Amino acid sequence: MLSVMAHPIAPENLLSPGESSALSERVRTPRSNPAGCLIEFRSVSVVYPNGVKALVDVSTEIEKGEFVFLVGPTGSGKSTFLRLIYGEARASVGDVIVEGKSVRKLRHHQIPFLRRRMGIIFQDFKLLPNKTIYENAAYALEVIGAPSREIARKVSHVLYVVGLEHKVRMFPHELSGGEQQRTSIARALINHPPILLADEPTGNLDPDTAWDIMQLLQQINQKGTTVLMATHNRIVVDSMKKRVLTLGSGAIVGDQLKGGYSGGS
């Protein structure tokens, strides 16, 4: 974290994707068999309406069951990368394929079905302000029309898992940042989604709680959920020895199996 703050422009940012690949421990080459890959970026560029180029020609593949860290300095395009997968941002050029379907070609009314295949932990939590913690977690089940008995059971369980069982009747504004974050995590996990997108899920948590959450994500991953987590947490990334995708100025500048935070360098 600190080193990133001290060097806002990390060395890898100065390299083009091609040059950085020479530095990385092992660069993943596009697979010949696309059937095995769950999420695929095909030369994706994103230009926001204000002209900011958030992603530039990003191509990568994520397989079913993988655990991937997405790292890079602030503003490097991590959140944009995730937003493309759940259809909030659209590729200006290129395409994102999720579970074999082009996100770009999805119609508006199909987007909710895409999102129900994934749990999303948002960087800014995105909790419904007029709903209690319980109702916020339950909402992800209400949208798929789950029976109320099942909802009650699952909500109690997931809130217990994230350690919020004593705050169920409180509203988001009555909670600390970390507690709100855990609510967001609970809502993302409640459906047992095949894909979990986590944008800085430990950002507001103390180290112990952060580790608990990482433990939880790892368990979920071991049960088959593909986890994609954007983070600035160097210690977590370095000690988990998972695949690390490094973004710099909107391009992939490093991609290592069992990598560390510093990515390609």
Partner 1 sequence: MVLRSLPFFFREVALNLKRNPVMTIASASTVLVLVIVLGVFSIVAVNLVKFSRVVSSQFHMTAFLSENMSLGDAMQIQKQISGLPHVARIRYVSSEEALKRVGEWLKEEINLEGLVKNPFPSSFDIYVDDPTAMDEVAIGLGKIQGIKDLNYARKEAARMVPFLRNIKYACIVLIALLLFTTVLIVSNTIKLTVFARRREIEIMQLVGAAHWFIRWPFILEGVLQGLFGSAVAVTLLYITYTNLLATLVNSVPWFPLVSNPLTLHQILAALVASGCIVGGAGSFIAVNRFLRV
Ligand X SMILES: Nc1ncnc2c1ncn2[C@@H]1O[C@H](COP(=O)(O)OP(=O)(O)OP(=O)(O)O)[C@@H](O)[C@H]1O
Q: List residues near partner 1 by CB under 8 A.
A: 86-88, 108-109, 111-113, 115-116, 120, 122, 126-131, 135, 139-140, 142-145, 148, 187
| Among 235, 248, 243, residue whose Cα is nearest residue 10 | 248
Q: Which does 86 bind (CB under 5 to 8 A by kind): partner 1, Mg ion, ligand X, none?
A: partner 1
Q: Which does 1 bind (CB under 5 to 8 A by kind): partner 1, ligand X, Mg ion, none?
A: none
What are the structure tokens assigned to 164, written together? 């919020």
Q: Are 38 and 101 in contact (CB under 8 A)?
A: no
The Cα 184–Cα 127 span in angstroms is: 7
Chain positions contacting ligand X, by CB under 6 A:
48, 50, 52, 54, 72, 74-80, 123
Q: Are 4 and 200 in contact (CB under 8 A)?
A: no
Q: Which does 65 bind (CB under 5 to 8 A by kind): Mg ion, partner 1, ligand X, none?
A: none
The Cα 149–Cα 67 span in angstroms is: 32
What's the min distance (Å) between Cβ of 143 and partner 1? 4
What's the min distance (Å) between Cβ of 146 and ligand X? 32
What's the min distance (Å) between Cβ of 150 and Mg ion? 33
From the list 76, 79, 136, 262, which residue makes contact with Mg ion (rule: CB under 5 A)? 79
What are the structure tokens assigned to 118, written together? 């994934």
What's the min distance (Å) between Cβ of 72 and ligand X? 6
Q: Which is nearer to Mg ion, 81 or 134 (CB)?
A: 81
CA distances to 52, 105, 127, 163, 188 from 123, in Å? 20, 26, 11, 19, 12
